[in-house]
Structure 1
Amino acid sequence: MYPDIEPYDHGMLDVGDGHRVYWEVCGDPAGKPALVVHGRRADRGPEHQHHRPPDRRFRDGVPEGQRDGNLALAYSCLLHDPDPAVREKAARDWCDWEDTQVRTHPGRRPDAAYDDPVFRLRFARLVTHYWAHAAWLEEDVLVREAGKLAGIPGVLIHGRLDISGPPDIAWRMAQAWPGAELHLVEQEGHGAGGRRTTELILAALDHFALRS
């Protein structure tokens, strides 16, 4: 990896409707900019959730009448319940599921961040809020509008074992984005912590930096 450095600029981007997104800029202010984006399956709305059935323990964490519907919305309601015990159980159930689906290799240890009850609740509320509303994006809008990126080079890096975000969207984006380069990484899953994924990210950044 590159040496750790502090951002020289950062802030909150107003994206409308009272929402803000954190951003930061690192590296050489006079250098060539590279945007690193970690996305979720935001183009798939609640109507597609039944295509990825979660395990029964996860489904059983919400009221029976909501188990075949928008599970993210059902969990979001539990995470805002007036009863602290209900909120805590929902946060633990959600984070247990999140942590389990990214541990695709034997011996991979659970994420210690989920041991913090404050983090668990905050994380689960944030994720379910966006998932329940499909990030307020129209169905398939990312792929449909990808052609507008023509002329902007991009590298898509996706673990083939990514359960929470299967690689079909990355593949479709690569077809719709002129000039995009897709890498499906064998034996790696969600996140950017795998050795091969890290190598590909660094290689892409180095390549862009050397381009005239």
Structure 2
Amino acid sequence: MTKRRILYPSIEPTRTGMLDVGDGHQLYWEQCGNPDGKPVVFLHGGPGGGASPDHRRQFDPDRYNILVFDQRGCGRSTPYASLEANTTWHLVEDIERLRTEVAQVDKWMVFGGSWGSTLSLAYAQTYPDRVTELVLRGIFLFDQYEVDWLYKEGGASAVFPDKWEEFIGLVPPEEHGNLVEAYRRRLTSDDVAVQLAAAKAWSKWEAETVTLLPSPETIDHFTSDDVAVAIARIENHYMAAGGWLEEGQLLRGAEKLRDIPGVIVQGRYDMCTPPKAAWALHKAWPEAELVIVPDGGHLYNEPGVLDGLVRATDRFATEHSPRST
């Protein structure tokens, strides 16, 4: 039996800073690993989630020069939970500025999961000549089917009916037809108590559907005051706008990825970003390897999912050295 991979040992960043990207936003970033290694940028989930020290542990620090950062409005970036000038296309340009002004590399590998997979695809399709490889997990194409799966009756609600009733219980029945809009009104309320209650309910629904066996620690993290507001406000802001993407845009743009090696890792039992989107992307981009994890869910640190991700980064570190990119 093949031994499964685990996260690389924890390492401290060698460089940190704040990048002013305009519009009043500053992004917190960290760089670590081998300064002469293969450049890679990690795009975290969310929107509104933020990066963590474990995210950089999916890469061999002897072979990778690793950049992680917090997107607009979340984590240690400022201003906190801001919706101003916060769209997919602002973030795409932020990534490009990080490449040129912080990493100062010609090209790099892009690694993203969940919402980070959406952002990775949008960036790679905008700047295909700047991407050496793509490693993606939990594909979210931001098509209406996927938004409805999460926030309309008949999708994730069919798997988590008890949690769904709790989620919709915050708003009266006449608002159940458009929960994203109902929550948007509360998440942008001038009443701090109303905003916080909506943020906790929104974030708790995500925490309870993001894995089949949510731990109390996961739910506590998602619903803590300093995390829930950014996750809920920014994520709801993106859901209400369809991610500023046209329906089917990322699938139509997959032809721009034909020269980019890729690996897609998808849990079979992912109830947050179901495998349907990963399969559609693989058909539109057959050059990428699709790894379906038979016992995997959504989170990157589930054993089979993590195994697929680390194997992908190890493979690309070997097949494509910094000199060959």
Question: TM-score, structure 2 length as denominator?
Answer: 0.57
Equivalent in the alignment of 2:142: 43
Equivalent in the alignment of 1:60: 169
- RMSD between aligned alpha carbons? 2.8
Contact 1:158 1:183 in 2 (8 A): yes
Contact 1:146 1:177 in 2 (8 A): yes
Separation in 2 of the partners of 1:98 and 1:64?
Answer: 21
Separation in 2 of the partners of 1:59 and 1:93?
Answer: 9
Cα gap change, 1:46 to 1:152, in 2 (>3 Å): closer
Deviation digits for residues 46-86 of structure 1 (CA, Å, limit 9, x no counterpart): 896146363233223224332112x2232121112222332
Separation in 1 of the partners of 2:28 and 2:144?
Answer: 24
Identity %: 34
| The one of 238, 252, 262 aligned to 1:154 | 262
Equivalent in the alignment of 1:30: 36
Deviation digits for residues 27-61 of structure 1 (CA, Å, limit 9, x no counterpart): 32332333211233342238961463632332232
SS in 1 for 2:167: helix
SS in 2 for 1:157: strand
Cα gap change, 1:100 to 1:48, in 2 (>3 Å): closer
Contact 1:157 1:200 in 2 (8 A): yes
Separation in 2 of the partners of 1:198 and 1:7?
Answer: 25
Equivalent in the alignment of 1:108: 215
Separation in 1 of the partners of 2:25 and 2:114?
Answer: 17
Question: TM-score, structure 1 length as denominator?
Answer: 0.84
Contact 1:42 1:134 in 2 (8 A): no
Instruction: Please report how far the alpha carbon of residue 182 of structure 1 lies from its aligned counterpart in structure 2 after TM superposition.
Output: 0.7
Equivalent in the alignment of 2:288: 180
Instruction: Please report how far the alpha carbon of residue 22 of structure 1 lies from its aligned counterpart in structure 2 after TM superposition.
Output: 6.4
Instruction: Please report how far the alpha carbon of residue 24 of structure 1 lies from its aligned counterpart in structure 2 after TM superposition.
Output: 5.2
SS in 2 for 1:156: strand
Deviation digits for residues 153-207 of structure 1 (CA, Å, limit 9, x no counterpart): 1100111111111111111111111410111112221120111111111111111
Deviation digits for residues 121-152 of structure 1 (CA, Å, limit 9, x no counterpart): 22211111111111111111111111111111
5+ residue gaps, structure 2, are 1-6, 40-108, 116-139, 158-163, 321-325
Separation in 2 of the partners of 1:72 and 1:2?
Answer: 38
Contact 1:174 1:180 in 2 (8 A): yes
**Residue 206, structure 1, aligned to residue 281, structure 2:** no
Separation in 2 of the partners of 1:28 and 1:171?
Answer: 34
Equivalent in the alignment of 1:143: 251
Separation in 2 of the partners of 1:190 and 1:43?
Answer: 16
> Aligned pairs, how many?
209
